[in-house]
Structure 1
Amino acid sequence: MAVKRRPPARRVARRINPKFYVFLGIIAAAVIAIVFFITNTNTALVEQGEIMFEKALPVVVVRDEQVVSAQNYGKPNYLVQEGERVEAEADVAEVYRGGYNDKVVTELLEIQAKIEDYQENLISTDEQLLAYNSQITQKAAEMRQILNGEAAGDVVVAENELKALMAQKQQYLRDAVTADATLNGFYSNETELQGRVNEWKEAVKAPEAGVVSFYFDGAETMLNADNIATITSADVNEILNGGADEQQSASAEDSAEKPLFRLVNNYQWFLVAQSSTEIPEFAQGNVFSIAFDDYLDKPYSGKVVGTVKEEEGYVYALEITDDIGQLLNVRRTDAKVFSKFEGMKVPEKAIQDKDGVTGVTVVAGSDKTFVPVNVKIIKDGSAIIEPAEAGSILTVNQHVEV
């Protein structure tokens, strides 16, 4: 029996929607883009480099000093010169204790004047005596000019030089003149009066070694090395605006003891500066060269030893261990601070912040590693950095992401 075969079924051709090809194209483009960005990260080479830093700013000078005071009932007699360095326990000045009698001192000065006149009359033509008198006359005229503002100079220094010349002259007269009965009588009277004055006189000594100064501005206690960490922007601004002199006059009137001299550690002092914005270069321990506008003959070197962040600004302290020199009595001045920062140099845009940590991303092939760093300076689109952690993988000649 013959079997009828059914003809094969006809296949129906289906058209693929053109949108399908568009979708595939989008997927392919996305994959290519991802691969491109993964394998083609923009990087920069870490180089060994340097960046110069310079900043001008007003500063306040803070010294390691102490004020030595005494109850003073008359003009003190200074035994050392302004700016002179003394050792511990050295006599710096003489003052008079309670019971001091002006009349006795006046009598002593009068008898000493009689002695000198009598001696000079006996050797009036002596060449050495004439030379002393000429020098004393010149020094006295110089001192008057300084006091009247007609000449530059230090009054205390001029006064001490005048006293030294007069003492040399008196000693010369005692050695050169043979005493007679009249002169011996004068000497006896002088000795008795001098003994009475010496009972009231008290020598004020230096408590330790240092440089002596007789000038005060009233800020010696507030602005002192002992409280360098607590100085505020308000303190700095008060000094820069000239507030210390008024403070001095008020404190002098209220105190039973009067300041006699300052004793300064001339090999440790500080500069304090205030800024409304952060100065990243003033990181703790950074060292700078310093030049003062009014004292250009001597450069200094200072190290940042303190930073205080306030609500509306920053206060920075730099320590200097060079001899203070002409800045012994300076409280406010203008300074230029400059330094050369050296180290790993990268573009500024390589610096990143991740979860509050500053760093760079090291790229090695397809691997990326975020490395924390300390930024020493950023200037003109470049930065000097250093690894923030010991054993860091960051080195010169590596690539970092930018």
Structure 2
Amino acid sequence: MAVKRRPPARRARRINPKFYVFLGIVAAAVIAVVFFITNTNTALVEQGEIMFERALPVVVVRDEQVVSAQNYGKPNYLVQEGERVEADADVAEVYKGGYNDKVITELLEIQAKIEEYQENLISTDEQLLSYNSQIAQKAADMRQIVNGEMEGDVVTAEGELKSLMAQKQQYLRDTVTADATLNDFYSKETELQGRVNEWKEAVKAPEAGVVSFYFDGAETLLNADNISTITSADVDEILNGGADEGRNTSTDDAAEKPLFRLVNNYQWFLVTQSDTEIPEFAQGNVFSIAFDDYLDKPYSGTVVGTVKEEDGYIYALEITDDIGQLLNARRTDAKAFAKFEGMKVPEKAIQEQDGVTGVTVVAGNDKTFVPVNVRIIKDGSAIIEPAEANSILTVNQHVEV
């Protein structure tokens, strides 16, 4: 009887442990992809503020005009340096071409004789002694200012001295009773004064403003009328102490000479140059301004112009406060301060898409790119504002970072 053989039993196959490692890697990769697709790092849009401060070397540009007169000798200023005058006010007296120095000298001599004679008649008068003391002191102050031994303005001191002398002369004429000798002096003075008056011409202010008798030669180029055409080269020349003598403020040296500046003291500008962009100096932004050399008065300046040049940027800030001590300043150092308030986000939330700056708003699984204007970036944070009306961007939303 034949015996039926059983087929040999199959041996169980053992799976290589490396297969499980491979599956684990694949599973981890799938989980990671799903995580990054469904989970985005976000930050909350907050209401916040960032303080801005920047030191700036600046050029002062004024709304001013140079008033000239026909070729003249030493002028007689009728107002003081820094004095505000109204339109058509007499600012100075000049002598027209052809005047005779000898006649003017004779007039001054007879006036000196008149004063000496008057003083001798009332030499012990207390008011006269007071005038003489004040005049002597003012003359001494003026000498010290000229010699650099005392701070002050020479033109202002000269005006004050002239004012005291005029007051004294008027007091003597009102107080001293004229005798025959004095009347003869008066007659001679009147005759000479009449001849001098034929040459004398008053120069008036064409409009209201503050008067200054100082020039730096850049009044025409660096003027409010030219604020939009000032270049980096112009600014650098002034900031680096470049000479301005080549810039003539008169149209014809032989015919006219500058006599005084008339300044609109309630509108002037600061112009600064930067090799890199200053985003905070966007049009219309307002800054507190402090000047290193004029710390007694703070100012407020508004950005009114930005020009991008090949190698840098030019910025202009308008100031509408009284110019005060900066009446004759051309270059100085300033600090600009501002507090930027608004929507605050991390700097890394700001993105670029097709050349447009914005942030990506995240709501659930939806993402929306929203264009924004960046007002300031500092220390890893930024203050932004929607670039478009009816933007969906609001405080307490989440943006991608």
Aligned partner letter, 1:373 = V
What RMSD over aligned residues (CA atoms) do the two structures have, in Å? 2.4
1:318-357 aligned within 5 A: 318-357=317-356
Which residue of the partner structure matches residue 5 of structure 2?
none
Secondary structure, counterpart of 1:197 in structure 2:
helix
Which residue of the partner structure matches residue 307 of structure 2?
308
What's the CA shift string for 1:135-184, capped at 9, x where partnerless? 11111111112112222111111111111111111111111111112211
In 1: Cα distance, 2:93 partner to 2:242 partner = 31
Which residue of the partner structure matches residue 383 of structure 2?
384
Check conservation: 2:361, 2:398, Cα contact below 8 A. yes
Deviation at 1:252, TM superposition (A): 7.3
Deviation at 1:73, TM superposition (A): 2.5
Task: Calculate percent identity across the aligned residue pairs.
Answer: 89
Check conservation: 2:45, 2:398, Cα contact below 8 A. yes
What's the CA shift string for 1:197-250, capped at 9, x where partnerless? 1111110001110000111111111101001111111100100111244336x7
Deviation at 1:61, TM superposition (A): 0.6
Aligned length: 390
What runs of 5+ residues in structure 2 fail to find an aligned partner?
Answer: 1-12
What's the CA shift string for 1:349-375, capped at 9, x where partnerless? 100000000000000001110000000
In 2: Cα distance, 1:372 partner to 1:39 partner = 24
Which residue of the partner structure matches residue 107 of structure 1?
106
Which residue of the partner structure matches residue 8 of structure 1?
none
1:47-62 aligned within 5 A: 47-62=46-61
Which residue of the partner structure matches residue 125 of structure 2?
126
Secondary structure, counterpart of 2:385 in structure 1:
strand
Which residue of the partner structure matches residue 3 of structure 2?
none
Aligned partner letter, 1:100 = Y
In 2: Cα distance, 1:222 partner to 1:239 partner = 11
Residues 207, 196 of structure 1: CA spacing in aligned structure 2 closer, same or farther, 3 A cutoff?
same
Which residue of the partner structure matches residue 198 of structure 1?
197
Aligned partner letter, 1:354 = Q
- Does residue 365 of structure 1 match 2:364? yes
In 1: Cα distance, 2:307 partner to 2:124 partner = 70
TM-score by length of 1: 0.92
Deviation at 1:195, TM superposition (A): 0.9
Which residue of the partner structure matches residue 4 of structure 2?
none
- Does residue 374 of structure 1 match 2:334? no
Check conservation: 1:83, 1:328, Cα contact below 8 A. yes
In 1: Cα distance, 2:174 partner to 2:370 partner = 83
- Does residue 396 of structure 1 match 2:390? no
TM-score by length of 2: 0.92
Deviation at 1:38, TM superposition (A): 2.2
In 1: Cα distance, 2:22 partner to 2:116 partner = 122
Which residue of the partner structure matches residue 94 of structure 1?
93
Secondary structure, counterpart of 1:246 in structure 2:
coil
1:2-401 aligned within 5 A: 31-247=30-246, 255-256=253-254, 257-401=256-400
Aligned partner letter, 1:356 = G
Check conservation: 1:280, 1:377, Cα contact below 8 A. yes
Deviation at 1:25, TM superposition (A): 7.6
Deviation at 1:99, TM superposition (A): 1.9
What runs of 5+ residues in structure 1 fail to find an aligned partner?
Answer: 1-14
In 1: Cα distance, 2:264 partner to 2:368 partner = 51
In 2: Cα distance, 1:292 partner to 1:368 partner = 47
In 2: Cα distance, 1:192 partner to 1:73 partner = 23
